[in-house]
Amino acid sequence: MSSKPPQPTSGRDVLHFIPNYIGYFRVACSLTSFLLMIGFPQLWLMAIILYLLNFIGDLFDGLIARKLNQCSSFGGILDMLTDRCSTAGLLMILSVEYLPIDASLSFPLCRTAFLLLVLLDVSSHWMQTYSVLATGHHHKSKEGNKGRNILVQWFYAYYWFFGYLCVGAEFTYMILYARNHIQNAPAFLQKGLDAFLVVCIPACLAKQVVNMAQLLSACQAIANHDAEQINASRNKKQ
């Protein structure tokens, strides 16, 4: 007796993939943390915990997707958008948190710095994703990043490098937020956060260098792809 063939997967099934539920949980944690940061600043610790849960979820959704054979384009896009929107949201909140620091200056340095970080983060990752998807590969794959800037290749090829830069950047922003709310905390806690910040800042700065290399490399890759399409079209007409 032959077994029944498996039922075809529907779009609804994809939306209910387990790793995508992790993605929905991450979105909920991120949004709730921002609402607390903005409306209930006295609950800053809970806000940080929720943001941290969102960040930790990013470590598991991809692993579970591969383990359960539930990888999907929707899940990949949801993951990438959650990352970018979460980082952008926290940076925008930091631009308000640190407003008094540069309020007396003729040029608002802190707000400008946080804004530039948002623009670089979003644009570099969007261009990277678009440029690699155009070739039919995943934006983190070795094949998709072949011929790219060496920093970009290292970033996606070596997990320890990728992890240090991503974790260091996110923890830099989280510590900056927490540091602005613990003026009355014990001295050892403040010194501990400051020491951790010293470790994270180099990773955050290196992440911005990689983001810039990623943006420029992706722009060149898209331009090369356009040139190939134009030349192929001309050869057909000849």
How does pLDDT run across 46-68, given as a tens digit for each residue?
999 999 999 999 888 888 888 88
Give the global pTM: 0.87
For the beta carbon of residue 67, count every other beta carbon within 10 angstroms: 11
Asked whether the beta carbons of 65 and 74 are under 8 A apart, the reply is no
pLDDT given for residue 135 in this prediction: 66
How does pLDDT run across 103-144, given as a tens digit for each residue?
677 678 888 999 999 999 999 999 988 888 766 666 676 676
Domain parsing of the chain, residue ranges? 16-97, 108-228
Is residue 171 over pLDDT 90?
A: yes
How does pLDDT run across 28-46, given as a tens digit for each residue?
999 999 999 999 999 999 9
CA 33 vs CA 1, 79, 114, 145, 167: distances in Å: 55, 18, 19, 34, 18
How does pLDDT run across 181-226, given as a tens digit for each residue?
887 667 777 888 889 999 999 999 999 999 999 999 999 988 988 8
pLDDT given for residue 233 in this prediction: 85
What does the mean pLDDT of the chain come to?
A: 88
